Amino acid sequence: MNPSANGWIKKLLLEIAEVSYADIETSTFYSKLKKTGFIYGSNVGVILDFAKTFDYTEEERCKINLLVSYSFIHQKLACTEVLSESLIAYYKAISNQKRSFFEELFGDKSSDSLLEKMIHKRINIDDNVITKNFNYFLINALLFVDILGYQRYLKNKKNIRNYVIDLESALETIVFTAIDVKSNKTKYDYNLIRLFEDSVRHKNSRLPTCEDAIGFISEPLEKLYLIDLVCMASWSDKVIDEEEREFLNRLQSDLELNNNDIASAVDDINSFYNIHKDHVAFLSSKNLAQSFYNNSSKIVSKLIKRNSKRLIRELSESKEAMALLAKSTQRNLTDEEQKKIQTQLLDIFKSIPSLAIFMLPGGMLLVPLFVKFIPKLLPSAFDDNRIEED
């Protein structure tokens, strides 16, 4: 199952068709979802055991986690409507009917295909591959708001768009208040502010007061999610100071939570960041150039692995490209040779739809990385100096 290719929703739903959520408490599911990083906006894993063996990108893991969460809510609330059709109706209901960012997609006749496009647009803050590589924050951090909105939608379809807007605004107010109470703000805090500002779908000119925002949060899942977001906001120095503790105590009282809810949320964020600190983008101190290179490497490596058989076949039919690739493993190519191999590779990219990314404006920047990864696919005789890695 490839969440970056057409038909992934139908395939995933077939694979989870036999999964029963009847004996799984909503709080238990939420806890499992949190361990994947979905709640924190950093999808380091997927919630389904069978999918863990696959090498997915963060965007693909996010798609899986989002759809499985929708499936859980859909089954828990015993919705009789087909999931994909129900979700399309939900997304239409919460979008701006005058100018929806889904509007150009609504002509798609296939519900699964339309939903795939909707989800892709929803999870990405910036859909330009080059911009994304320079951007620390690739994935929308407030996607659980969509799940909460869908839960409300299945219970009561009235005023659902206003609910989602008000929920986003309430969360934004409370998280920014939690950051504001800090005496000393760090790079983490400013990165987190940027992440939330970029993730908010509906930009309100006037946010509610903190008191009104807290008053809006009433459902159990809303409360759990809010506490986790506040713990994210309080995490930067790994110590909850007096102001932060006072704010958490106020939330605990206003939301009628117990000490275990707060303590568990604090432990969870500490554990998650300590384990996955090297894989969470906004904890990274890399400069933009290094971030671009690292993210680009992941993209190119993924494309090569998924198209390896066809790439080898296409390359074997191009003697000039093979010769230049062989030279590239021994020495740096000259400017003339680099232009030749770029021309050869672009001809190959045209024949493989998944590699269309290289044809986009700026895609040429990724070609040197492509050349770097290609020799690893070819027979060992292709590179006499290659040392096999364990």
Residue 75: predicted pLDDT? 92
The whole-angstrom separation of Cα 225 and Cα 40 is 10
**Residue-wise pLDDT tens digits, 130-147:** 444 444 444 577 899 999
The domain in which residue 266 lies consists of 8-283
Considering the domain architecture, whether residues 82 and 222 belong to the same structural domain is answered as: yes
**Residue-wise pLDDT tens digits, 22-74:** 788 999 999 999 999 999 888 888 987 655 545 677 888 899 999 999 999 99
H/E stretch holding 290 reads: helix 288-306
8 A C-beta contact, residue 295 and residue 357 = no
Considering the domain architecture, whether residues 135 and 173 belong to the same structural domain is answered as: yes
8 A C-beta contact, residue 134 and residue 167 = no
Using the 3D structure, point to which of 239, 254, 283 is the last residue of a domain.
Answer: 283
Mean pLDDT, 10 residues at a time, over the chain (390 residues)?
83 84 89 93 81 68 93 93 93 71 56 87 62 48 92 94 92 88 77 74 74 92 93 74 80 87 88 82 53 57 71 75 73 76 75 65 61 57 42
Using the 3D structure, point to which of 283, 303, 334 is the last residue of a domain.
Answer: 283
Considering the domain architecture, whether residues 17 and 51 belong to the same structural domain is answered as: yes
User: What amino acid is encoded at 151 in this protein?
Assistant: Q
Considering the domain architecture, whether residues 253 and 352 belong to the same structural domain is answered as: no
Using the 3D structure, point to which of 258, 283, 308 is the last residue of a domain.
Answer: 283
Considering the domain architecture, whether residues 353 and 249 belong to the same structural domain is answered as: no
* 387 domain-assigned: no
The whole-angstrom separation of Cα 78 and Cα 178 is 37
How many domains does the structure of the chain reveal?
A: 2
Residue 110 main-chain phi, psi, to 5 deg: -85, 125
Residue 35: predicted pLDDT? 93
Considering the domain architecture, whether residues 144 and 275 belong to the same structural domain is answered as: yes
Considering the domain architecture, whether residues 45 and 144 belong to the same structural domain is answered as: yes
Residue 133: predicted pLDDT? 42
* 355 domain-assigned: yes
The whole-angstrom separation of Cα 158 and Cα 212 is 21
pTM summary value: 0.71
Considering the domain architecture, whether residues 71 and 115 belong to the same structural domain is answered as: yes
